[in-house]
Amino acid sequence: EVGGGGGEGAVGDGERGAAGDIARGVSGASRGDVDGIGGAGGAGEARAGRDGGAADGGDGGSDDDAPELRCLSIQSHVVEGYVGNKCAIFPLQLHGFDVSPIMSVHFSNHTGYGSWEGTVLQGEQLIATLDGLERNGLLRFTHLLTGYMGSASFLRAIVECVRRLRAVNPDLRWVCDPVLGDNGKLYVPAELPAIYREEIVQHASLLTPNQFEAELLSGVEIGSVKDAVRACDVLHARGPRTIVITSSALGAASVVLLASTTWEDVASSALFAGAEREGDHVRFAIDIPKLEGVFTGTGDLTAALLLAWTERLPGDVVGAVERAVASVQAVLRRTLKHGSPRRELRLVQSKRDLERPEVVLRAYRVDE
Protein backbone atom coordinates (compact mmCIF):
# COMPACT_ATOMS: atom_id res chain seq x y z
CA GLU A 1 0.00 0.00 0.00
CA VAL A 2 1.10 3.53 -0.69
CA GLY A 3 1.68 5.56 2.47
CA GLY A 4 3.91 8.08 4.18
CA GLY A 5 4.57 11.71 3.30
CA GLY A 6 4.31 14.67 5.60
CA GLY A 7 4.51 18.42 5.71
CA GLU A 8 2.17 20.54 3.70
CA GLY A 9 1.66 21.46 0.09
CA ALA A 10 0.38 19.81 -3.05
CA VAL A 11 -0.30 20.46 -6.65
CA GLY A 12 -3.07 19.32 -8.89
CA ASP A 13 -5.13 19.56 -12.06
CA GLY A 14 -8.10 21.61 -10.96
CA GLU A 15 -10.01 22.24 -14.15
CA ARG A 16 -9.31 21.50 -17.76
CA GLY A 17 -11.44 24.29 -19.25
CA ALA A 18 -14.71 23.29 -20.82
CA ALA A 19 -14.13 25.22 -24.05
CA GLY A 20 -10.69 24.02 -24.76
CA ASP A 21 -8.07 25.26 -22.36
CA ILE A 22 -6.04 23.23 -19.96
CA ALA A 23 -6.34 24.75 -16.52
CA ARG A 24 -4.59 22.44 -14.13
CA GLY A 25 -4.72 23.30 -10.50
CA VAL A 26 -4.69 22.07 -6.93
CA SER A 27 -6.65 21.75 -4.01
CA GLY A 28 -8.52 20.47 -1.11
CA ALA A 29 -11.32 18.10 -0.86
CA SER A 30 -12.57 16.56 -4.07
CA ARG A 31 -10.81 14.25 -6.52
CA GLY A 32 -11.32 16.84 -9.24
CA ASP A 33 -9.27 19.37 -7.32
CA VAL A 34 -6.27 17.29 -6.39
CA ASP A 35 -4.75 16.20 -9.67
CA GLY A 36 -1.04 16.86 -10.00
CA ILE A 37 2.14 17.07 -8.01
CA GLY A 38 3.68 18.93 -5.12
CA GLY A 39 6.05 18.86 -2.18
CA ALA A 40 6.43 19.39 1.54
CA GLY A 41 8.39 21.64 3.87
CA GLY A 42 11.61 20.63 5.55
CA ALA A 43 15.31 20.34 4.76
CA GLY A 44 16.37 18.54 1.60
CA GLU A 45 19.42 16.32 1.62
CA ALA A 46 21.72 15.44 -1.25
CA ARG A 47 21.36 12.00 -2.76
CA ALA A 48 24.70 10.43 -3.50
CA GLY A 49 25.43 10.07 -7.17
CA ARG A 50 22.41 12.15 -8.27
CA ASP A 51 22.06 15.50 -6.53
CA GLY A 52 24.31 18.49 -7.11
CA GLY A 53 26.78 19.20 -9.86
CA ALA A 54 25.81 19.86 -13.43
CA ALA A 55 22.56 17.91 -13.21
CA ASP A 56 21.18 20.37 -10.67
CA GLY A 57 22.36 23.49 -12.40
CA GLY A 58 25.95 23.45 -11.12
CA ASP A 59 29.06 24.06 -13.16
CA GLY A 60 29.02 21.25 -15.68
CA GLY A 61 31.09 23.01 -18.34
CA SER A 62 30.36 25.73 -20.86
CA ASP A 63 27.14 25.94 -22.85
CA ASP A 64 29.16 25.06 -25.96
CA ASP A 65 29.89 21.64 -24.46
CA ALA A 66 26.22 20.74 -24.06
CA PRO A 67 24.39 18.67 -26.69
CA GLU A 68 21.90 20.53 -28.85
CA LEU A 69 18.42 19.97 -27.48
CA ARG A 70 15.49 21.05 -29.64
CA CYS A 71 11.89 20.60 -28.45
CA LEU A 72 8.74 21.03 -30.50
CA SER A 73 6.00 21.90 -28.01
CA ILE A 74 2.42 21.57 -29.25
CA GLN A 75 -0.29 22.67 -26.83
CA SER A 76 -2.56 25.55 -25.86
CA HIS A 77 -1.53 29.20 -25.78
CA VAL A 78 -2.97 32.17 -23.92
CA VAL A 79 -2.04 35.82 -24.34
CA GLU A 80 -2.40 36.56 -20.62
CA GLY A 81 -1.51 34.12 -17.86
CA TYR A 82 0.30 30.82 -17.62
CA VAL A 83 -1.08 27.60 -19.09
CA GLY A 84 0.02 25.36 -21.97
CA ASN A 85 3.02 26.62 -23.88
CA LYS A 86 3.26 29.68 -21.62
CA CYS A 87 4.10 27.22 -18.80
CA ALA A 88 6.42 25.02 -20.83
CA ILE A 89 8.69 27.28 -22.87
CA PHE A 90 10.48 29.20 -20.10
CA PRO A 91 11.34 26.16 -17.91
CA LEU A 92 12.59 24.20 -20.92
CA GLN A 93 14.76 27.11 -22.03
CA LEU A 94 16.24 27.32 -18.54
CA HIS A 95 17.23 23.67 -18.91
CA GLY A 96 19.01 24.27 -22.19
CA PHE A 97 16.32 23.50 -24.76
CA ASP A 98 15.63 25.48 -27.89
CA VAL A 99 11.81 25.44 -27.90
CA SER A 100 9.65 25.79 -31.00
CA PRO A 101 5.98 26.26 -30.00
CA ILE A 102 2.91 25.37 -32.03
CA MET A 103 -0.46 26.40 -30.61
CA SER A 104 -3.40 23.97 -30.55
CA VAL A 105 -5.64 26.82 -29.41
CA HIS A 106 -4.95 30.55 -29.18
CA PHE A 107 -7.00 32.22 -26.43
CA SER A 108 -7.01 35.62 -24.77
CA ASN A 109 -6.76 33.96 -21.34
CA HIS A 110 -7.49 30.61 -19.71
CA THR A 111 -11.09 29.57 -19.18
CA GLY A 112 -10.95 29.97 -15.41
CA TYR A 113 -11.67 33.66 -15.95
CA GLY A 114 -15.21 32.87 -17.07
CA SER A 115 -14.95 34.46 -20.51
CA TRP A 116 -12.36 34.26 -23.24
CA GLU A 117 -11.92 34.75 -26.96
CA GLY A 118 -9.78 32.98 -29.48
CA THR A 119 -9.34 30.22 -32.01
CA VAL A 120 -9.24 26.41 -31.89
CA LEU A 121 -6.85 25.15 -34.57
CA GLN A 122 -7.64 22.25 -36.89
CA GLY A 123 -5.49 19.45 -38.23
CA GLU A 124 -4.92 20.98 -41.65
CA GLN A 125 -3.34 24.01 -40.00
CA LEU A 126 -0.86 21.81 -38.13
CA ILE A 127 -0.03 19.91 -41.33
CA ALA A 128 0.52 23.17 -43.21
CA THR A 129 2.94 24.32 -40.51
CA LEU A 130 4.81 21.03 -40.69
CA ASP A 131 4.98 21.34 -44.49
CA GLY A 132 6.66 24.72 -44.15
CA LEU A 133 9.19 23.43 -41.64
CA GLU A 134 9.91 20.35 -43.74
CA ARG A 135 10.50 22.27 -46.96
CA ASN A 136 13.16 24.30 -45.19
CA GLY A 137 14.83 21.35 -43.46
CA LEU A 138 13.65 22.50 -40.04
CA LEU A 139 12.13 19.30 -38.63
CA ARG A 140 15.30 18.66 -36.61
CA PHE A 141 13.99 18.01 -33.11
CA THR A 142 15.27 15.86 -30.28
CA HIS A 143 12.05 16.07 -28.24
CA LEU A 144 8.31 16.51 -28.68
CA LEU A 145 5.98 17.75 -25.95
CA THR A 146 2.19 17.70 -26.41
CA GLY A 147 -0.65 18.82 -24.17
CA TYR A 148 -4.19 20.07 -24.75
CA MET A 149 -5.72 19.37 -28.17
CA GLY A 150 -8.91 21.23 -29.04
CA SER A 151 -10.15 19.16 -31.98
CA ALA A 152 -10.13 15.59 -33.27
CA SER A 153 -8.50 16.59 -36.54
CA PHE A 154 -5.65 18.35 -34.72
CA LEU A 155 -5.05 15.31 -32.49
CA ARG A 156 -4.98 12.97 -35.48
CA ALA A 157 -2.49 15.27 -37.18
CA ILE A 158 -0.13 14.68 -34.24
CA VAL A 159 0.40 11.13 -35.53
CA GLU A 160 1.60 12.52 -38.85
CA CYS A 161 3.77 14.99 -36.97
CA VAL A 162 5.46 12.19 -35.04
CA ARG A 163 5.98 10.19 -38.23
CA ARG A 164 7.76 13.09 -39.90
CA LEU A 165 9.86 13.95 -36.87
CA ARG A 166 11.02 10.37 -36.39
CA ALA A 167 11.83 10.06 -40.08
CA VAL A 168 14.44 12.74 -39.42
CA ASN A 169 15.38 11.59 -35.90
CA PRO A 170 14.36 8.01 -35.00
CA ASP A 171 15.46 8.66 -31.40
CA LEU A 172 12.96 11.49 -30.87
CA ARG A 173 11.56 11.39 -27.30
CA TRP A 174 7.87 12.28 -26.97
CA VAL A 175 6.36 13.36 -23.66
CA CYS A 176 2.59 13.13 -24.14
CA ASP A 177 0.20 14.71 -21.65
CA PRO A 178 -3.18 13.23 -22.69
CA VAL A 179 -5.42 16.05 -21.52
CA LEU A 180 -8.97 14.69 -21.39
CA GLY A 181 -10.58 15.78 -18.11
CA ASP A 182 -10.77 14.88 -14.44
CA ASN A 183 -13.15 13.95 -11.64
CA GLY A 184 -15.08 11.71 -14.03
CA LYS A 185 -15.80 14.60 -16.39
CA LEU A 186 -14.58 14.95 -19.96
CA TYR A 187 -13.41 18.41 -21.03
CA VAL A 188 -12.58 17.65 -24.65
CA PRO A 189 -14.58 16.47 -27.66
CA ALA A 190 -16.06 13.03 -26.98
CA GLU A 191 -14.11 11.30 -29.75
CA LEU A 192 -10.67 12.20 -28.35
CA PRO A 193 -10.27 9.37 -25.77
CA ALA A 194 -10.70 6.73 -28.48
CA ILE A 195 -8.20 8.51 -30.74
CA TYR A 196 -5.67 8.56 -27.91
CA ARG A 197 -6.23 4.87 -27.19
CA GLU A 198 -6.14 3.67 -30.78
CA GLU A 199 -3.78 6.07 -32.55
CA ILE A 200 -1.67 8.09 -30.09
CA VAL A 201 -0.56 6.23 -26.96
CA GLN A 202 1.52 3.60 -28.74
CA HIS A 203 3.89 6.25 -30.13
CA ALA A 204 4.63 8.11 -26.87
CA SER A 205 7.85 7.71 -24.89
CA LEU A 206 6.53 9.11 -21.62
CA LEU A 207 2.82 9.39 -20.79
CA THR A 208 1.51 11.69 -18.02
CA PRO A 209 -2.22 11.03 -17.39
CA ASN A 210 -4.08 11.86 -14.21
CA GLN A 211 -6.16 9.11 -12.59
CA PHE A 212 -9.28 9.79 -14.66
CA GLU A 213 -7.27 9.87 -17.88
CA ALA A 214 -5.40 6.69 -16.98
CA GLU A 215 -8.75 4.97 -16.45
CA LEU A 216 -10.07 6.20 -19.81
CA LEU A 217 -6.96 5.14 -21.70
CA SER A 218 -6.45 1.75 -20.02
CA GLY A 219 -10.03 0.69 -19.36
CA VAL A 220 -9.03 -0.10 -15.76
CA GLU A 221 -11.00 1.49 -12.92
CA ILE A 222 -8.45 2.62 -10.34
CA GLY A 223 -9.51 2.07 -6.74
CA SER A 224 -6.22 0.82 -5.31
CA VAL A 225 -2.49 0.85 -5.92
CA LYS A 226 -2.82 -2.61 -7.46
CA ASP A 227 -5.36 -1.21 -9.93
CA ALA A 228 -3.04 1.68 -10.80
CA VAL A 229 -0.21 -0.76 -11.50
CA ARG A 230 -2.52 -2.84 -13.68
CA ALA A 231 -3.52 0.30 -15.61
CA CYS A 232 0.15 1.07 -16.16
CA ASP A 233 0.75 -2.46 -17.44
CA VAL A 234 -2.06 -2.08 -19.97
CA LEU A 235 -0.57 1.21 -21.17
CA HIS A 236 2.98 -0.19 -21.27
CA ALA A 237 1.74 -3.00 -23.49
CA ARG A 238 0.58 -0.39 -25.99
CA GLY A 239 3.99 1.25 -26.23
CA PRO A 240 5.04 3.93 -23.69
CA ARG A 241 8.28 3.19 -21.87
CA THR A 242 7.46 5.37 -18.86
CA ILE A 243 4.09 6.26 -17.33
CA VAL A 244 3.58 8.83 -14.60
CA ILE A 245 0.06 8.95 -13.17
CA THR A 246 0.48 12.50 -11.94
CA SER A 247 -2.15 12.14 -9.26
CA SER A 248 -4.67 9.76 -7.80
CA ALA A 249 -7.17 9.74 -4.98
CA LEU A 250 -5.56 6.69 -3.38
CA GLY A 251 -4.26 8.55 -0.33
CA ALA A 252 -6.60 9.60 2.48
CA ALA A 253 -4.74 12.81 3.30
CA SER A 254 -2.57 13.24 0.22
CA VAL A 255 -2.42 13.12 -3.53
CA VAL A 256 -0.56 10.02 -4.70
CA LEU A 257 1.70 10.19 -7.74
CA LEU A 258 2.56 6.75 -9.13
CA ALA A 259 5.15 6.03 -11.79
CA SER A 260 6.05 2.91 -13.74
CA THR A 261 9.13 2.56 -15.92
CA THR A 262 11.78 0.13 -17.09
CA TRP A 263 14.69 -1.14 -15.02
CA GLU A 264 17.07 0.63 -17.41
CA ASP A 265 15.42 3.93 -16.57
CA VAL A 266 16.20 3.56 -12.85
CA ALA A 267 19.69 2.11 -13.30
CA SER A 268 21.25 5.24 -11.74
CA SER A 269 18.62 5.67 -9.02
CA ALA A 270 19.64 5.15 -5.41
CA LEU A 271 16.08 4.05 -4.66
CA PHE A 272 16.52 0.84 -6.66
CA ALA A 273 20.21 0.23 -5.99
CA GLY A 274 20.70 -3.44 -5.21
CA ALA A 275 17.06 -4.28 -5.87
CA GLU A 276 16.36 -7.77 -7.17
CA ARG A 277 15.15 -7.48 -10.72
CA GLU A 278 11.65 -8.89 -11.18
CA GLY A 279 9.43 -8.35 -14.19
CA ASP A 280 9.90 -5.77 -16.92
CA HIS A 281 8.93 -2.66 -14.94
CA VAL A 282 9.54 -0.97 -11.59
CA ARG A 283 7.05 1.19 -9.71
CA PHE A 284 7.48 4.05 -7.28
CA ALA A 285 5.25 6.68 -5.73
CA ILE A 286 5.31 10.03 -3.97
CA ASP A 287 2.71 11.11 -1.42
CA ILE A 288 1.87 14.77 -1.84
CA PRO A 289 0.12 16.57 1.03
CA LYS A 290 -2.72 18.75 -0.16
CA LEU A 291 -2.40 22.48 -0.48
CA GLU A 292 -5.58 24.53 -0.30
CA GLY A 293 -6.19 26.62 -3.37
CA VAL A 294 -6.88 26.36 -7.08
CA PHE A 295 -4.14 27.02 -9.61
CA THR A 296 -3.84 26.84 -13.38
CA GLY A 297 -1.05 25.44 -15.50
CA THR A 298 0.59 23.11 -12.98
CA GLY A 299 0.09 20.02 -15.14
CA ASP A 300 1.64 21.75 -18.14
CA LEU A 301 4.59 22.80 -16.00
CA THR A 302 4.93 19.26 -14.66
CA ALA A 303 5.10 17.68 -18.11
CA ALA A 304 7.72 20.19 -19.27
CA LEU A 305 9.88 19.59 -16.20
CA LEU A 306 9.61 15.82 -16.58
CA LEU A 307 10.84 16.17 -20.14
CA ALA A 308 13.75 18.33 -19.00
CA TRP A 309 14.82 16.23 -16.03
CA THR A 310 14.52 12.84 -17.74
CA GLU A 311 16.91 14.22 -20.35
CA ARG A 312 19.31 15.60 -17.74
CA LEU A 313 19.21 12.49 -15.54
CA PRO A 314 19.39 9.48 -17.87
CA GLY A 315 18.76 6.28 -15.97
CA ASP A 316 17.12 8.11 -13.07
CA VAL A 317 13.41 8.65 -13.66
CA VAL A 318 13.02 8.70 -9.87
CA GLY A 319 15.25 11.75 -9.54
CA ALA A 320 13.51 13.43 -12.47
CA VAL A 321 10.08 13.04 -10.87
CA GLU A 322 11.33 14.21 -7.47
CA ARG A 323 12.79 17.38 -8.98
CA ALA A 324 9.63 18.13 -10.95
CA VAL A 325 7.64 17.80 -7.73
CA ALA A 326 10.02 20.11 -5.89
CA SER A 327 9.98 22.81 -8.58
CA VAL A 328 6.21 22.88 -8.91
CA GLN A 329 5.81 23.05 -5.14
CA ALA A 330 8.19 26.02 -4.95
CA VAL A 331 6.28 27.82 -7.70
CA LEU A 332 2.98 27.25 -5.89
CA ARG A 333 4.29 28.53 -2.58
CA ARG A 334 5.55 31.68 -4.24
CA THR A 335 2.23 32.09 -6.06
CA LEU A 336 0.29 31.74 -2.80
CA LYS A 337 2.55 34.17 -1.01
CA HIS A 338 2.17 36.76 -3.75
CA GLY A 339 -1.60 36.39 -3.95
CA SER A 340 -1.59 36.96 -7.70
CA PRO A 341 -4.93 37.41 -9.49
CA ARG A 342 -6.58 34.13 -10.45
CA ARG A 343 -3.54 32.39 -8.94
CA GLU A 344 -1.49 32.85 -12.10
CA LEU A 345 1.77 31.01 -11.51
CA ARG A 346 4.79 33.10 -10.50
CA LEU A 347 6.89 31.32 -13.07
CA VAL A 348 9.46 33.94 -14.05
CA GLN A 349 10.03 34.83 -10.39
CA SER A 350 10.78 31.14 -9.67
CA LYS A 351 13.74 30.85 -12.02
CA ARG A 352 16.12 29.45 -9.41
CA ASP A 353 13.61 26.87 -8.18
CA LEU A 354 13.00 25.71 -11.73
CA GLU A 355 16.71 25.28 -12.33
CA ARG A 356 17.86 23.96 -8.94
CA PRO A 357 14.91 22.68 -6.89
CA GLU A 358 15.35 21.63 -3.28
CA VAL A 359 14.06 18.06 -3.16
CA VAL A 360 12.11 17.35 0.02
CA LEU A 361 9.44 14.82 -0.84
CA ARG A 362 11.17 11.55 -1.69
CA ALA A 363 9.86 8.67 -3.75
CA TYR A 364 9.42 5.19 -2.31
CA ARG A 365 9.18 1.82 -3.96
CA VAL A 366 5.80 0.26 -4.59
CA ASP A 367 5.83 -3.51 -4.28
CA GLU A 368 3.24 -5.36 -6.31
CB 247 within 8 A of CB 13: yes
What does 134-155 look like in DSSP terms, one character per residue? HHTT----SEEEE----SHHHH
In the residue annotation, 367 being an active-site residue is answered as no
Contact between 203 and 239 under an 8 Å Cβ cutoff? The reply is yes
Phi-psi region of 16 (alpha: psi -120 to 50; beta: other; left: phi over 0): beta
Q: Of the residues 300, 316, 353, 367, which is catalytic?
A: 300
d(CA 186, CA 121): 19
Phi/psi for 255 (5° steps) reads: -85, 135
- Residue 299: CB atoms within 10 A of its CB come to 35
Q: What is the rounded CA–CA span in Å between residue 177 and residue 345?
A: 19
3-state secondary structure 175-233: EECCCCEECCEECCCCCHHHHHHHHHHHHCCEECCCHHHHHHHHCCCCCCHHHHHHHHH
Amino acid letter, residue 174: W
Active site residues: 300
